[in-house]
């Protein structure tokens, strides 16, 4: 070995942004594989780290707990959504912007279908992972609601608070419907085509909400639906209820 070879610095895993992303992904894959093979409760952080070829301390530089390891991109995607909303053109339909925001979540799942499908199977059987997933969905919906309420208020809608919350719930429902359909298919269906159809339904249902409105007393809007109702029926009834309130 030459003197030059011996003196050259050795690259360290996780030193670059790309390296950190690869290591985070390796830990996620290791966690999912271990949980699937031997069960969530029986798997330790040390076993996950070892399977990824790193030590326990390295694991905790990336994740706070073993359940966090199977949701590696949540904070990153949430930050991208907030950035999208912060820089969106105020003249653009806010529902279109909101749908583009949750589209980033969908894309993060589609980017790694094998991991996404296996994670979905785990969240169906491990309550703590299911709770983690529900909390993540709730955070996305709260960001959506904050954005839409602000846009509707700026448009002079006296029902901006209610309408923003309901619209955010509809956008989230459309996304979740498409994502779960894709996951149940094992990643085989065309999620982007289904998302385009689902988001069009929501955008159409709230098509008039960005326009200024006259003064009205605040009203409560209630829509009663069966939990088995298809997405199109959910959107139709929400739209009808809100238009009746006008």
In tens, the pLDDT along 22-55 reads: 999 999 999 999 999 999 999 999 999 999 999 9
C-alpha span between 133 and 129 (Å, rounded): 6
- CA 85 – CA 148 distance, rounded (Å): 10
pTM of the predicted model as reported, rounded to 2 decimal places: 0.76
Angle at 98 between CA 96 and CA 102, to 5 degrees: 115
What is the C-alpha separation between 116 and 182, in angstroms, rounded?
10
Using only C-alpha atoms, the chain has a radius of gyration, in whole angstroms, of 22
DSSP string, 35-94: HHHH-TTT--HHHHHHHTT--HHHHHHH-SSTTGGG-TTHHHHHHHHHHHHHHS-TTS-H
| CA distances, 16 to each of 108, 143, 145, 233 (Å) | 21, 30, 35, 48
Q: Is the CB of residue 174 less than 8 Å from the CB of residue 231?
A: yes
Least confident of 132-136, 181-185, 237-241: 237-241
> Where does residue 104 rank: exposed (0-12), middle (13-18), buried (19+ CB within 10 A)?
middle
Measured at the CA of 28, the angle between CA 22 and CA 33, to 5 degrees, comes to 125
Domain ranges for the chain, please list them.
17-68, 74-208
What are 197-213's pLDDT values in tens digits?
999 999 999 986 544 44
Band of pLDDT at residue 8, cut at 50, 70 and 90: very low
Segment holding 25, helix H or strand E:
helix 17-38
Instruction: Count the helix, strand and coil residues of the chain and give each as a percent rounded to the nearest 5.
Output: 70, 0, 30
Q: Which CATH number fits domain 17-68: 1.10.10.60, 3.30.565.10, 1.20.1270.10, 3.30.429.10?
A: 1.10.10.60
CATH, domain range 74-208: 1.10.357
Q: How far apart are CA 116 and CA 48, in angstroms?
A: 18
CA distance 177 to 104: 15
Question: Could you tell me which residues come within 8 angstroms of residue 179 by beta carbon, excluding any fewer than 6 positions away?
Answer: 105, 106, 109, 191
pLDDT in tens, 57-75: 999 999 999 989 998 888 8
Cα end-to-end distance, the chain, whole Å: 80
């Amino acid at each position: 070995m030459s003197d030059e070879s011996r003196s050259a610095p050795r690259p360290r895993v996780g030193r670059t942004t790309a390296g950190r992303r690869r290591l985070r992904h390796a830990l996620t894959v290791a966690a999912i594989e271990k949980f699937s093979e031997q069960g969530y409760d029986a798997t330790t952080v040390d076993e996950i780290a070892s399977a990824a070829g790193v030590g326990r301390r390295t694991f905790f530089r990336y994740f706070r707990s073993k359940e966090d390891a199977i949701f590696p991109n949540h904070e990153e995607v949430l930050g991208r959504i907030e950035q999208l909303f912060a820089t969106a053109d105020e003249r653009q339909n806010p529902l279109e912007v909101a749908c583009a925001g949750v589209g980033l979540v969908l894309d993060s799942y589609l980017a790694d279908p094998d991991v996404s499908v296996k994670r979905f199977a785990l969240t169906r059987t491990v309550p703590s992972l299911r709770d983690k997933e529900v909390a993540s969905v709730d955070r996305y919906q709260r960001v959506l609601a904050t954005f839409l309420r602000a846009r509707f208020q700026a448009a002079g809608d006296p029902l901006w608070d209610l309408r923003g919350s309901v619209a955010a719930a509809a956008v989230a429902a459309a996304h979740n419907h498409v994502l779960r359909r894709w996951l149940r298919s094992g990643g085989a269906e065309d999620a982007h085509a289904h998302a385009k159809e689902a988001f069009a339904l929501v955008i159409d249902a709230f098509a008039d909400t960005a326009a200024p409105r006259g003064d009205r007393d605040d009203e409560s809007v209630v829509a009663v639906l069966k939990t088995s109702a298809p997405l199109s029926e959910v959107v139709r009834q929400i739209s009808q209820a809100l238009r009746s309130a006008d």
